[in-house]
Amino acid sequence: MYNTLINFDKDGDILLQDNSIALMPCLWKVYKTRGLGSDMVKWIVSVYDYKSPYRRLPEDERISRVTYAIYGKDSTSKYKREEVAQAIEEYVKLQYDPLIDQFNAMSEQMFKMNLVYRNIEPTKDNLEDLNKLQTEMGKAAKSREQIKELIIKDQESKAKISGTTSDEFSLFEQDDRLR
């Protein structure tokens, strides 16, 4: 996960010693399931993580591109399996941040506004409407930037997720979570 809930090494493999996996039993189940494993966990994280490089793409496009990057094809039915759906739901709930969610929603809407704006041909009749739209787009961009600054400030605080350090697990919990 891009250093939020799950850590990956430089090759993109999941770090098994990452204790935050204990917070996600459904994701751990996917990891241990034959035919899903590490690739499906990488798929879930790449599609749904707030810090994924694919995050700014529309969901259908994200799914297609991540599937191709991991499996070498445009689609796979693996992500439609029940245990994968449960892991996705669990992962999304655990990493939910209202500011990031608001930022992403605003980004998606701004993407749509930009498409509309690009497709309008300026004429004498619609020049005032174009200027009004441009002003509103500027206000939206400013609001989005303010939210981005709040998110960065929060992330720079280095807040840790409670229960994810090995010091907080007993030997029995360490052993049990890796089964």
**pLDDT (tens digit, 9 = 90+) per residue, 162-173?**
544 555 555 555
Instruction: Specify whether 89 is located in the same domain as 15.
Output: yes
> 113 lies in which domain range?
97-160
Provide the 3-class DSSP secondary structure of residue 130: helix
The DSSP output letter for 164 is -
Instruction: Specify whether 91 is located in the same domain as 126.
Output: no
Cβ 46 vs Cβ 39: under 8 Å: no
Residue 168 lies in a domain: no
Q: For residue 133, with 0-12 CB atoms within 10 Å meaning exposed, 13-18 middle and 19 or more buried, which class applies? A: middle
Task: Tell me the pLDDT tens digit for each residue of 40-93.
Answer: 988 988 888 877 888 778 888 889 999 999 898 887 888 888 999 999 999 888
Instruction: Specify whether 44 is located in the same domain as 110.
Output: no
- In whole angstroms, give the CA distance from residue 124 to residue 111: 26
Residue 176 lies in a domain: no
Instruction: Specify whether 70 is located in the same domain as 4.
Output: yes
Closest residue by Cα to residue 8 from 55, 54, 41, 32: 41
